């Protein structure tokens, strides 16, 4: 399936210690691309049944598995409003949130964030991952700085906690809408 349907299947495979084969039949298939699969030819993915096993990392937020990333802020709100996999113009989302950014506690300080993306391993500038087994989480912040300037920051680690002013936070997990209870514990 697509990115949104893969994580629940991966969680079940982890729970039961079963192998997991990805056949890209979804909309964007980011995870399949990062595995090196051709999303335009899902039949070739069936070759994995005869291939050697490859171990990869999974991320978790509040014990919920994700394979690609978890988004908070502008993108998550757009997914909740427009449906899963929403990719309307980013500028429209940022303008909509410039007056009311998400307030998150990170590294012991409160920050006004327009967008927080937590990735399972590191993304390159093109939005792809070279490795799916580096054992890290990557956090990308688009911060609402004074005078409406935007600051981008990247952090890498294996676990961290995000605090929010509200009890529940809208999120997009692998492109699917979700509501998470704060604080958000990533590992």
Which of 38 and 74 is assigned the larger pLDDT? 38
| Model confidence, pTM | 0.86
pLDDT, tens only, 124-175: 888 899 999 999 999 888 776 665 444 556 677 888 888 888 899 999 999 9
Q: What per-residue confidence (pLDDT) applies to 146?
A: 63
3-state secondary structure the chain: CCHHHHHHHHHHHHHHCCCCCCCCCCCCCHHHHHHCCCCCCHHHHHHHHHCCCCCCCCEEECCEEECCEEEEEHHHHHHHHHCCCCCCCHHHHHHHHCCCCEEEEECCEEEEEEEEEEEECCCCCCCCCCCCCCCCEEEEEEEECHHHCEEEEEEEECCEEEEECCCEEEEEECCEEEEEECCEEEC
Q: What per-residue confidence (pLDDT) applies to 1?
A: 76
Judged against a pLDDT cut of 60, whether residue 34 lies above it is answered with yes
Judged against a pLDDT cut of 90, whether residue 67 lies above it is answered with yes
């Amino acid at each position: 399936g697509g990115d949104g349907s893969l994580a629940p299947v991966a969680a079940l495979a982890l729970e039961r210690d079963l192998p997991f084969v990805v056949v890209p039949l979804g909309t964007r298939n980011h995870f399949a691309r990062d595995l090196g699969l051709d999303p335009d030819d899902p039949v070739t993915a069936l070759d994995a049944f005869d291939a050697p096993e490859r171990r990869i990392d999974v991320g978790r937020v509040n014990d919920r598995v994700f394979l690609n990333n978890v988004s908070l802020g502008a993108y998550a709100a757009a997914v909740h409003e427009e449906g899963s996999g929403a990719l309307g113009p980013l500028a429209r989302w940022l303008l909509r949130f410039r007056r009311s950014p998400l307030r998150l506690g990170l590294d012991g300080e409160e920050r006004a964030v327009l967008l927080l993306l937590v990735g399972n391993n590191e993304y390159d500038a093109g939005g792809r991952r070279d490795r799916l087994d580096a054992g890290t989480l990557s956090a990308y912040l688009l911060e609402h700085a004074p005078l409406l300037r935007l600051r981008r920051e990247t952090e890498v680690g294996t676990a961290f906690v995000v605090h929010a002013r509200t009890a529940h936070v809208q999120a997009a997990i692998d492109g699917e809408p979700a509501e998470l209870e704060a604080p958000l514990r990533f590992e």
